[in-house]
Structure formats: C-alpha cells, structure tokens
Structure 1
Amino acid sequence: MSLSNTTDLLEALGVERSPKAVHDWVQKADLQPESGRSPNQIALDETVIRINDQQFWLYAAADPETNNLLHLQLFATTTTALTEIFPRELRHKHDVETAVFLVDGAKHLQTALQRAGLRFQMRRHGNRNAIERIFRELKRRTSSFSNSFSHVEPKTAESWLQTFARWHNATN
C-alpha cells in the first residue's frame, strides 16, 4: 500500500496523518521477520529487483516447512564477500547451525555457506520452491511499488520489503 493510500485509509478511519508521518512510523517500526526460529531446512536465494531503473539484489531465506520468510536483505551489487554477510546476519537472528540450506546452482551462495561452515544442498525443486513462490509474489508487488514511487531510496525499498516479509509471515 502506498503512503497516499495509507493516509487515505487512515483518514477514512478518522485518523489524520501526513504521508511523512506514516513514512516515519514505518522507519521506526521493527519490521524484519521475527527472530528465534530453528528450522530444519532453509531455502536460500537471491533475485534482482529494480528501483529507479537500477538493479539491486534481494537475498531472502525462507523456512520451507512454514513458508515463512526468516530474513531478507537488499544489496546494491553482488559479490561473494557481500553474500557472506547474509548468512552471518541470519545466524545472529535464528538457530541455523543444524539446518540444511537449499540453494540453486549459484556458486557465490554455495561458497558463502561453505565459508560460514553451514551445510547446504543444491536443489532446484521440492522444498526450495517455497522461496521461488515468495519471490514471484514479491516481484509482482515490487513491480507495482517501483512504478508507484518515483525517486525512492533503496533504504525505503528495503523497509517496504521488510514490511512485506512481516505481512507475508502473518498471513501464513
């Protein structure tokens, strides 16, 4: 939902707030998916999204058993060194030491997991499809998001993506 749609909805409910106030609320909220989970498997992938005609790489991890997003992060570029940040942060949020990561053929994902000492299996189908379904929905929504907001900052896009993750987990 865009900021103007949100302010219109709030106004219909009798709450008058500016788009700036709503934006500030979103920025202050802790919208990353909840921490403290201990999944057996984690579907891990990346996808390219566009923000203001620029490419960004969105990394996401999902629990295929519950279809919940565990963590997501947006990067302006993709390198093995940057990829290593993602499992490190995921490890701080969740107990992933015994989990098996399900990845596609992306060598930089496999290298980052190997360097982190985490187990992984290369899979293109099966439980790994959970992250692909989430990415399809995310891309459908980010396409609308990118077209609705001109000159959006990547930080704002990442906040929106974290809000999406929180909503996605709540509706599962």
Structure 2
Amino acid sequence: MAEIARLTGHREWIDLDFVEREQTPEPAMALGIQSHVADLSLSNTVELLGCLGVQRSRKAIHDWVQKADLQPESGKEPNQIALDETVIRINDQQYWLYAAADPESKQLLHVRLFATTTTALTEIFLNELRQKHEVENAEFLVDGAQHLQTALQRAGLRFQTRRHGNRNAVERIFRELKRRTSSFSNCFSHVEPKTAENWLQTFARWHNAPN
C-alpha cells in the first residue's frame, strides 16, 4: 500500500470517522472517494484502485461516499453570496439544486436538492444557510427569479439583481458540476433523491478543498 500513500493530491478534507470494520486501507478509501467525486465514474474508480492492488466493487465505492456524509464546512462570513438554482435529473424526474457560493473565495457555502422550486423552499434553504454561516451582513446576488427575491425580502436579507459579474461564480460551479456528471448524462439513475443530494454535497466539499 506504499504506492497509494505516494499518490499526490490533498485528501485531508475526507473524514473517515465512519470506518468501522472496513478492510480497505484508509488511503485507498480516500483516493476512491476523491477520484469518484472529482472526475471518475464508479467503474473507472474501480479500475484505478485495481491498478493499485485494491479490489473493490462499484457498490463499495458508492457506499464510501454515502457513509462519509461530507458537506461544505460551516462558519464562513462572506461579504457577498451568489444564490442560484439549476436542474438535476434523477431517474428521469426533474429536481432543483439550490446553491449558495462566495464569489470572492469561489467556495460553495450550502447546497440542497428539492423536488420543485418555490418561495417556501427558498426560505428553508436560506434558514439552513443562516444556521451554517454568518450571512446577516452579506449582500446576496440573484438573477430575476421572483421566488428568490421574495424569500430574501421575507428573511430581511439584502440583495441585488445581477446577471453578470460576481454572480457568475455560482454559474461557473454549476458548469463544472454538469461537466463532472456528464459521465452519467447529467442524470442520477437508480438512486433515491437523498443519495443524489449526498453526492452533490460531497462534490461541494471536494470543490472547496485546496488543490
């Protein structure tokens, strides 16, 4: 397993406290999680680990990602927050991925998956964002979506409508996410919405990690 330890790349962001009686060496598990979230399909991740002498199934790697339960770290104090949403498909059904990003650091602050997009769900998202980060003095950047603006008004949070500039930070992240998921046609198949949301939150944690 010394070969695994020599592989480059920061993986300190991966918390393996969930490991109990897992027989796989932790460096291999961390590599598997990182590789699958960052760039490789489950099949290609299996092949990568196999080249390193670690024989594990697609399901095993999938379970590592789910059990790790990784999310963006809390406790940020952004000056601005880009707020947006995009469509994610799960088993041919349309879901909405809400995301809040810090334009300055380019980090994702919070992500959630909802079956639809409404003012009430936006309020739930904002409440969770408030619980995780100090956002009371932040300025939110949104597009022309009325439900986003209404939810921010009800929450007493400052915002401005902006279609370009710093608000593009979250759109660039969405493009990277969709590039990553192109290996499964921008669609999660044969999974529950919570499973897909867990993967998306792990992606957010990977995106925020130092390179």
Relative to the length of structure 1, the TM-score reads: 0.91
Q: Are 1:100 and 1:119, in contact at CA under 8 Å, matched by a contact in 2? A: yes
Q: Tell me whether 146-155 or 57-66 shows the greater mean CA deviation.
A: 146-155
Q: Are 2:178 and 2:186, in contact at CA under 8 Å, matched by a contact in 1? A: no
Q: Are 1:49 and 1:142, in contact at CA under 8 Å, matched by a contact in 2? A: no
CA distance in 2, matches of 1:150, 1:28: 19
What is the aligned length?
172
Q: Are 1:41 and 1:63, in contact at CA under 8 Å, matched by a contact in 2? A: yes
Instruction: Specify whether residues 156 and 45 from structure 1 end up closer, same or farther in structure 2 by C-alpha distance, changes over 3 A only.
Output: same
Instruction: Specify whether residues 2 and 87 from structure 1 end up closer, same or farther in structure 2 by C-alpha distance, changes over 3 A only.
Output: same
Name the larger-Rg structure.
2
Within the candidate set 3, 20, 26, 2:59 is matched to 20
Q: Given residue 90 of structure 1, which amino acid in structure 2 is its aligned partner?
A: L
State the 1:168 CA deviation: 1.4
Q: Tell me whether 60-69 or 148-157 shows the greater mean CA deviation.
A: 148-157
State the 1:142 CA deviation: 2.6
Q: Which residue of 2 aligns with 1:163?
A: 202
Q: Are 1:50 and 1:146, in contact at CA under 8 Å, matched by a contact in 2? A: no
% same residue:
84
State the 1:7 CA deviation: 2.2
User: Considering only aligned residues, what root-mean-square deviation do their CA atoms show, in Å?
Assistant: 1.8
Q: Are 1:2 and 1:148, in contact at CA under 8 Å, matched by a contact in 2? A: no
Kindly report which structure 2 residues correspond to 1:3-152, keeping only aligned pairs within 5 A, or say none: 3-146=42-185, 150-152=189-191
1:137-157 CA-to-partner distances (Å, cap 9, x unmatched) read 222223333468632322222
Query: Secondary structure at the residue paired with 1:20?
Result: helix
Question: Is there any run of 5+ residues in structure 2 with no aligned partner, and where?
Answer: 1-39
1:30-54 CA-to-partner distances (Å, cap 9, x unmatched) read 3211111100000000111222221
Instruction: Specify whether residues 148 and 121 from structure 1 end up closer, same or farther in structure 2 by C-alpha distance, changes over 3 A only.
Output: closer
